[in-house]
Amino acid sequence: MARLTRKELKQDPFLSVYYDDFVEFAEKHHQKIIGVVIVAVLAFLVVTVWKRHERAAELNANALLGTALSTFNAYVGAAPPDALGPEAQTFPSTEDKYKAALQQFSEVIVKYPRQKAAEIALYHIGICQAQLGQQALAIDTLRKAANASDPEFASLSKFALADELARTGHLDEAAQIFRELAAHPVQSVPAATAWLALAAAERASNPAEARQIYQRLTRQAGSDTYLEEAAQQQLDDLPK
C-alpha cells in the first residue's frame, strides 16, 4: 500500500480532519512531545550503558574469580618434574594456599558484590576458613552463602555448613540440614551424598541410625555400584 503524501492527506476529505487535528495538537504540545522523546531517548541510553557496565563487571568478576579458584586448587609442596605447567602456582603449605585464596575470594566480593561470582566466592571463603581452622567464621560465612540465588551453590554451602556443624559438635542441626538436602537433591548434592554424610556424622553417637542409612543405601543403589560399595564398606566398618 502506497504512502500518502502530506498534500494528499490534506486533500482527502476524511483524513484531512485527523491530519488537521494532529497538526494542531502537535503545535500546541510540541514542547511536551519533545520532552517525552528526550526522556525516552535518555532512558534507552541509560539502559544500554547499564547493560554494558554490567556485562563488563561480570567479565571482570569472573576473571578475578578464576584467579582465586586457581589459587584454591594450586599444588602444595614440591611438584614432581614436568607435573605442572610453567605458570602453575605452588605453595609451601596448605595454610599458605588457603590464606592467599581467602584474600582473593574476598576481593571478588568487595569489588563485585552483585555478581554471581560473589556467591561462588562466598562459599569458597567459608571453605578456606574451615581449612584454616577458623570454624566459627566458617560457619557464619556458610550460613550466609546458603542463601545464594543459585540452588546448586546454596546446596553446596548448606552441605559444607552441616559438615562444619557436625565437626564442632552441633549434630542435631547438622542432621537436620543433611536430611533437608536429601529431601531436595540437586546435581551438586545428590540425595545419596547427603545420606552418606548424615550417616558419617551419626556413626559415633548413633551407630544404629547410621547402620539403617547404610543398609537402605545398599538396597537402593541399583546399578550404582560405587554407591553400593561405599555404603557396604561403611556398613562393614561399623562396630558390631
The per-residue pLDDT for 204 is 87
The per-residue pLDDT for 238 is 84
Q: Residue 35: is its pLDDT beyond 60?
A: no
DSSP state of 29: H
Please give the Cα distance from 3 to 53 (Å, whole number).
42
Higher-scoring residue by pLDDT: 52, 209: 209
The per-residue pLDDT for 14 is 44
pLDDT band at 114 (very low <50, low <70, confident <90, very high): confident
Q: Residue 219: is its pLDDT beyond 60?
A: yes
pLDDT band at 9 (very low <50, low <70, confident <90, very high): very low
- Helix, strand, coil shares of the chain as percentages rounded to 5? 75, 0, 25
Instruction: For residue range 171-184, list pLDDT tens digits in order.
Output: 999 999 999 999 99
Higher-scoring residue by pLDDT: 205, 3: 205
As a whole number, the mean pLDDT across the chain is 82
pLDDT band at 46 (very low <50, low <70, confident <90, very high): very low
pLDDT band at 81 (very low <50, low <70, confident <90, very high): low
Out of 42-51, 99-108, 130-139, 168-177, which region has the weakest mean confidence (pLDDT)?
Answer: 42-51
Three-state SS across 182-199? HHCCCCCCCHHHHHHHHH
Q: Residue 76: is its pLDDT beyond 80?
A: yes
Percent of the chain exceeding pLDDT 90 equals: 49
CA distance readout (Å), 186 to 58, 105, 142, 173, 192: 25, 24, 18, 20, 11
Out of 15-24, 100-109, 127-136, which region has the weakest mean confidence (pLDDT)?
Answer: 15-24
Please return the burial class of 100, using the count of CB atoms within 10 Å of its CB with bins 0-12, 13-18 and 19+. middle
The per-residue pLDDT for 161 is 97
The per-residue pLDDT for 108 is 95
Query: How far is residue 37 CA from its own chain's centroid?
Result: 40
Please give the Cα distance from 93 to 199 (Å, whole number).
31
pLDDT band at 223 (very low <50, low <70, confident <90, very high): confident
